[in-house]
A and B are shown apart, each in its own frame.
Chain A
Amino acid sequence: MADYSIVGRPVDRRDAVQKVTGRVLHVGNMEPAGLLHVAVLRSPHPHARIVRIDKSRAEAAPGVAAVLTGADIAAMPGITPYHGPAFADQPVLAIDRVRHEGEQVVAVAAESRRAAEEALELVEVEYEPLPVVLDVLDAIKPDAPIVHDEIRPSGAFADLAHVKAGERSNICYHYKLRKGDVDKAFAEADRIFEDVFTAPPAQHVPMEAHVSLAYVDEGGRINIHTASQSPSFVRGELARMLGVPMNRIRVRVPYLGGGYGAKLYNKLEPIVALLAMKTGRPVKYSLSREEEFQTVTKHGVVVKLKTAVKGSAMTARKCEVYWDTGAFAEIGPRIVHKSGYTSSGPYKIPNVSIDSYCVYTNKPPAGPFRGFGVPQVIWAYDSQMDIVARGLGADPVEFRLEHALEEGDLFVTGTPIHACGLKEAVRRAADAVGWDQPKAPASGSKRRGKGIACGVKAVLTPSISGAIVILNADGSANVLSSTVEMGQGSESLLAQIAAEELGMPFDRVHVVQPDTDVTPYDTISAGSRSTYHMGNAVRMAAAKVKEELFQAVAGKLEIDAADLESRDGRVFVRGAEERGMTVTEAFLAKFGSLGTTMVGEGLCQPVVTPMDPETGMSEKCTEYWFASASAVEVEVDTETGRLEVLQFHAAGDAGTAINPKYCEQQLVGAATMHLGLTLFEQMVFQDGQLLNGSLLDYQIASIKDVPAACHPIVVEVPHKDGPFGAKGIGETGALTVAAAVANALEDAVGVRVRDIPLTAERIHEALKAARKVNGGT
């Protein structure tokens, strides 16, 4: 590795002490004078017409400052009452109709949260229930109830401008890929494997629930403090909705208590902004845990896979993916597109057909969830990879290595693969789990098995990150970036990048928290994109500052700036360290004063070649690839069906690990989160009502569920354009968990389960069915 001073070192997080001592300022801690609190009445029906709302008694209730309905918002001059990143299909508060249980109908702002909640009980809403559609496959039937009669386009993202909704259909987006001659390959196949896999809706469960605070300042500008992963988006979308210039809105984001995709785009911001405008007072809205379940979810899917094999090669694959996007599209179409085009896997398959559908149902809206849909498609295709390998009598690890795409190969979309450490991840994960070692013997009712899975995710492209680096005359530096620190370590990592590029000490670099008045545009803090995109922007900005600094030193020393380098806050002649000066001396040399700064700006904006709408082909559909592999050893109790993961090895390609410790923590954190989703998490609905919408009944993986042996494996295949070769790693550990566990389950007890979560009862049922087939009892 190159000789870096701070890049590649596992420095401690900047926010560690603050966080463990409970001194972090979150939006929830902000209590400006005169604050009003919001409570929202939600729909008890999954689908109904709103016949009448009577809010008069609530308006007269003690402590109530304002009561707002969807109709009120629609009647406000110049206000657009609908929003959404893909379609403007979601009203801020329901208008005429409710489309899922828990949809927001009436908002109250009052002197206290209790006064607001008590006022809600005085609101009368008359509903006329409408037919409900819940199952994603029912929703695409011709006679299904239609969730949206019309869908308004959204102006939020230029790259989604091509997204057109289907007419009078619940399919709001369809991604299509056609490569080679699939029909011919199936006709000529030796064997055909056909499987249907499902995954249910689930919840992000960030430790901090959604919370937003708004006030209108003395200058009439709207100020928002919000727990958001996308401050730049919030500002732009609010400006559009409120009909004001972007600079009339200021969005600030302090540390987040986790996001995982739940806190993207607009969530509570429009309601607090409108109530602040209406009342002239600061307004805060924070969701209860129960409301979190009604706000945004992980897409449930049905994935149908059909694979043709000739000899020992896979010759064709047909993928149909049905995404349950719930009552509002949210960013569903983009998930359906980006994950859709990877749904045949990172394998050499000459003939491929993919259809990926985004489908409305009467469930809470589904949006981004750590992995952006890719965990769902890998769950399917890498379960089937094992089924095919076993069917052919091949070793699952060897079978994957034989078929895996390598540097320079074309992905199914026609985009060349670069810097994708897939094979290394598979090999290292397999080695770590002891793939070649014999299986542990059965003990009583317990059986052990090992499983592996791999897959790739393509980074969201196009997207934009801008950064500004300001070097102060004393050698300290400020980094202006809209990347949100939500636990991933971006603050310290960006400081490492800036410090390395400038040649300044790490502890002299301060990263400014997102503030749209100050920090430049950034698409989102999500999709494992910040290290690469914001990292590049920060590095570029720092390089510009360094250039100015070197010019100043070069002028004074009368040498060529190209002969200079900097380290630990000092600039000197390469090979002659005694000839140089401090930053302060350089400032004095250039400006004759210390009262100034050197400022550099950087912009990272990777582009794509748009896909052919009929074939899905593109010479460049993404900027880079994340390679993931998971290897597990499980123990299954054959009497109860309970599966325990004994060892977990999460391998992911980070490009270059700017901070190896954060990379390891991200791999283990993502794997743990998805272990819960693999083994027991699911939102259970009955007649459109959520049965387990609280943490009493919906449990995530606790420390007791984490395997005793849980090891990260950081693979480093540097990317030519990454900052110091780095890519991202926030989701990589999440991608391949489910398939690895299901594959280990089959290795242990010979049953294949195609639905997650792999609950004890489900495995027990599969074991009973297998015994019946085998003639037992």
Chain B
Amino acid sequence: MTIPAFDLLKPGSVAEASEMLLEHGDEARPIAGGTTLVILMKQRALRFSHLVDLQSIPGLERITDNDDGLSIGALATHRSVERSPLVQRRAPALAQAFSHVGNVRIRETASVGGNLAHADYRLDPPPALLVHGAEVVLAGAEGTRVVALKDFYRGMYETVLEPGEILVEVRVPHAAPAARTVYSRFSSLSANDWPCIGVAALLSLDNGNVGELALGLSGVAEAPLLAAGLERFQGESCSEELWDAVCDVVDEQLSPVSDLRGSADYKREMTRVWVRRTLRELAS
């Protein structure tokens, strides 16, 4: 399969890229790693006369540690996040989640921003970012705005990105020192396959009782999901009964899609299994 002819535009800045996107409208798309976009264009499922190459903008691939959190440039590759000592120290679950995506060749190319903006419902990194309370920085002609990742998704393959807007940075606030995080991926078919579901959890304990609790999920709704309403468990003591209660609250928020990796019912049941396992692991 070949890719239909297109013009590759090389902006020198985000503002220029944004202008290019606005100028060409639906005929243009930004390209970062291209691991998904190129396949879709080769399949002729998507067609763009212009691609705006974000790799030509300097500095978008940096990963830095600021006082309040990590800043991950949208053009950072999956591999660079997975291997970053900063990320491994500050947000181990995040490094873990990125290490699961595709294979090493994909991870060397695929960008963090592309992963998020593609808004696939069953990717590994979003749940881990969600439990950290990550925000995305969106830059457009009108300036930049910061959106919580949980509010970034609008549905299957849909985000709040406006025409001309580009995801340029992901901000990952540092978790409290007492908080522990983990990402569990469940593959129902080949080990290398997309996950059936993914569960990330953040839990801090206060004298054996629940302090901060967050659960991020993928594969169980039209978009990655940060479970709501978990504050009510603060102060409760960790127990199997408590985890069951958490699972009940989570379950109400699921709207799984049946796909090749599992039926909606199966995904619902697996979410229960993996939420419980993940919390058990963090509480132990």
Contact with A along B183-221 (1 / 0, CB 8 A): 000111111110010000000000000000000000000
Q: Are B1 and A288 in contact (CB under 8 A)?
A: yes
Closest-by-CB residue of A relative to B272 is A639
Q: Are B191 and A640 in contact (CB under 8 A)?
A: no
How many angstroms from the CA of A112 to the CA of B4 in the assembled complex? Answer: 12
B260 within 8 A of A: yes
Q: Are A640 and B260 in contact (CB under 8 A)?
A: no
B262 within 8 A of A: yes
A761 within 8 A of B: yes
Within 8 A of B (CB), among A636-660: 639-640, 642
Closest-by-CB residue of A relative to B270 is A640
Within 8 A of A (CB), among B84-137: none
Given A113-B2, A118-B4, residue A684 in contact with residue B260 (CB < 8 A): yes
How many angstroms from the CA of A290 to the CA of B187 in the assembled complex? Answer: 23
Q: Are B5 and A696 in contact (CB under 8 A)?
A: no
How many angstroms from the CA of A284 to the CA of B13 in the assembled complex? Answer: 43
Closest-by-CB residue of A relative to B189 is A680
B39 within 8 A of A: yes
A114 within 8 A of B: yes
Given A114-B2, A288-B1, A640-B273, residue A705 in contact with residue B188 (CB < 8 A): no
Chain B residues whose C-beta falls within 8 Å of the C-beta of A772 in the assembled complex: none
Within 8 A of B (CB), among A620-644: 639-640, 642
Q: Are A639 and B188 in contact (CB under 8 A)?
A: no
Within 8 A of B (CB), among A103-128: 112-114, 117-118, 121
Chain B residues whose C-beta falls within 8 Å of the C-beta of A692 in the assembled complex: 260
Within 8 A of A (CB), among B230-284: 260, 262-263, 266, 269-270, 273
The DSSP consensus for interface residues of chain B is loop
Q: Are B188 and A761 in contact (CB under 8 A)?
A: yes
Contact with B along A753-777 (1 / 0, CB 8 A): 0000001110010000000000000
A691 within 8 A of B: yes
Chain B residues whose C-beta falls within 8 Å of the C-beta of A676 in the assembled complex: 190
Q: Are B266 and A764 in contact (CB under 8 A)?
A: yes
Chain A residues whose C-beta falls within 8 Å of the C-beta of B5 in the assembled complex: 114
Contact of A691 among B3, B192, B196, B260 (CB under 8 A): B260
Within 8 A of A (CB), among B52-104: none
Closest-by-CB residue of B relative to A764 is B266
A697 within 8 A of B: yes
Contact with B along A281-292 (1 / 0, CB 8 A): 000000010100
Q: Are B188 and A699 in contact (CB under 8 A)?
A: no
Q: Are A705 and B260 in contact (CB under 8 A)?
A: no
Given A114-B2, A639-B273, A640-B186, residue A697 in contact with residue B192 (CB < 8 A): no
Given A114-B2, A117-B2, A764-B266, residue A702 in contact with residue B192 (CB < 8 A): yes
Q: Are A642 and B188 in contact (CB under 8 A)?
A: yes
Closest-by-CB residue of B relative to A684 is B260
Contact of B192 among A114, A290, A705, A761 (CB under 8 A): A705
Distance in angstroms from A443 CB to nearest chain B CB is: 14
Name 13 interchain pairs, CB-CB below 8 A, sorted by A: A112-B2, A114-B4, A118-B4, A290-B43, A642-B187, A642-B188, A680-B188, A680-B193, A692-B260, A702-B191, A704-B190, A759-B189, A761-B262
The 9 A-B pairs with the shortest beta carbon distances in the complex, nearest first, are A704-B191, A680-B189, A699-B190, A114-B2, A702-B192, A760-B188, A288-B1, A761-B266, A639-B273
